[in-house]
Structure 1
Amino acid sequence: MAETSAPPAERPASSYGAQPSTHGGPPVRRQIVAFSFYKILPEWKRLPADERAAHKAAFIEVFNRWNTPGEFLSLTYSTVGTRGDTDLCVWSICYSIEELNRMRAELLATPIGGYLEIPHSFLAMTKRSQYQIDREDESEGEGRGAIRPGGHKYLFVYPFWKTRPWYLLSMEERRRLMEEHIRVGLSFPRVKLNTTYSFGIDDQEFVVAFETNFPEDFLDLVQQLRETEISIYTLKDYPIFSCVRLTPEDALNRLG
């Protein structure tokens, strides 16, 4: 029997292993997190309106079919006007790289896929923080074993690298430096942080995604973080993507 393109009704826990809970609870299923940034080719904008509408509908059908509560979640964001090299972001959270691969392949197999370039794409995984973070919001409530995105209008995403000397510091010294960094973050409660890890599975070491309804708070937060002692151990923290949360329909309509 031929394999269907639809995701299976039941999915196993991540084959990459679950982290034991540090608080005596059940193991935490680690999530696969992907940010795919697409650029639409200008040739697509010159197609007849009814043909573009059919392309959008096929893309949305695949997108919606893969969204399964608690197992596979994707969100769409527009970067039209905020980046010159991308137009659309698809943020996906699931438990299997294989399923992520299949979902993205099905999106690109739709008619609009032939008109999409992918100038940026970031892959990461959730992991418990090594540092004590006294913040009871959704991004920290499970020790970063799981994230629950999408409750805010704006998303700011960037890949992140530490310098090699950072990893040679003692854990005590790293925790000391992180305390100031965390304290600054906690002073902006309207900005939600999602930190994911990419060691060995993508070029960057981390992917950080900030959600907020107040872009001015994020700007002030980043400026203050530049002034912390730990910032000297930042190797690279760009490109930065400013994204506007939209439904798939609205995000595609802003392409043309």
Structure 2
Amino acid sequence: MDELTKTEGPEAAATVYAYYPVFRSRPELRDATAGDLERMGHDAEILLKEWSDRITLRGTYSTVGFRPDAELMMWWVGSSPDDLQDLLVQFRRTELGRRLELTWAFMGVVRPAEFSKDHQPAFVKGTPAKKYACVYPYVRTIEWYLLPPAERAEMLREHGVFGREYPDVLANTTSAFGINDWEWILAFEADELDRIVDCLRRLRDAKARAYTKEEVPFVTGIRKEFVQAVQDLA
């Protein structure tokens, strides 16, 4: 992978945000030639490199074919939501960006886990990214927050035990209260997609599952070099 996929940088800051912009091609991009796509990809990649001291690109994901409203997803990490917004604005002004439609945007900030203060997202710990990523928002029911803390803690411990049955699956949870329509943004990573499938299925067995209100959409993609992912768009 190129230098844009480094894991050090903004992650070391006191406040860390993760941002996942998701795009699909506009008709004019789907008509582009392979040469045009390569040129537009390289031009946009230059912009991302110019921002690399403030925004880390953990991965670019080709989401073509996984769902009709998503063909390209990026995973940006930064210490400031202002920087993340500014980069998105500049990206959308590139020739490539003008030919992409932003269909989903997930932003969250790293906060201590409710009952396990030493738990951190994999990307904050510096764990290298894996081949596949599955990103989705999550909302719990009102009843969850009215439960006694000890009861919630016990259910989350069970949830954690189930998750540790899949040590090769990386979990990344960020808090999104007030940022958008959701409470949490989750990103699971693995080198085999079926491992994410099996892990998420296993987590359905946890008692905390009864307090899930919403967890769609799921956006899943294959991590590729930036220009290669752009070439998948037409």
TM-score range, shorter chain: 0.7 to 0.9
1:208 aligns with 2:186: yes
Q: State the percentage of identical aligned residues.
A: 26
Q: Which residue of 2 aligns with 1:59?
A: 44
Counterpart amino acid of residue 231 in structure 1:
R
Choose from 49, 59, 73 the match for 2:56: 73
Amino acid at match of 1:190: D
DSSP 3-state at the match of 1:238: coil
After TM superposition, list the pairs within 5 Å mapping 1:95-110 onto structure 2: 95-110=79-94
- Backbone CA RMSD of aligned residues: 2.3
Distance (Å, rounded) in 1 between the aligned partners of 2:37 and 2:190: 32
Q: 1:234 aligns with which of 201, 205, 212?
A: 212
Task: Return the offset for 1:159.
Answer: 0.3
Question: Paired residue for 1:249, among 219, 227, 233?
Answer: 227
Higher relative contact order (CA 8 A, sep 6+): 2
Any stretches of 5+ residues in structure 2 without a counterpart?
A: 1-9
Q: Distance in 2 between matches of 1:43 and 1:234?
A: 40
Structure 2 CA distance, aligned partners of 1:244 and 1:255?
13
Aligned residue in 1 for 2:200? 222
Structure 1: state its 5+ residue gaps: 1-12, 15-26
Q: 1:150 Cα deviation (Å)?
A: 4.6
Contact 1:190 1:214 in 2 (8 A): no
Q: Relative to total residues, which structure has the larger strand share, 1 or 2?
A: 2
Q: How does 1:98-247 map to 2 (within 5 A)?
A: 98-132=82-116, 139=121, 146-148=124-126, 150-247=128-225
How many residues end up aligned between the 2 structures? 224
Give the match's secondary structure for 1:209.
strand
Rounded Cα–Cα distance in structure 1 between residues aligned with 2:25 and 2:47: 18
Residues 147 and 194, structure 1, Cα contact 8 Å, conserved in 2: no
TM-score with structure 2 setting the length: 0.88
TM-superposed deviation, 1:44: 1.6
**For residues 147 and 91 of structure 1, do their structure 2 counterparts lie closer, same or farther at Cα, with a shift above 3 Å needed?**
farther
| CA distance in 2 between partners of 1:224 and 1:119 (Å) | 29
Greater helix percent: which structure?
A: 2
Partner of 2:16: 31
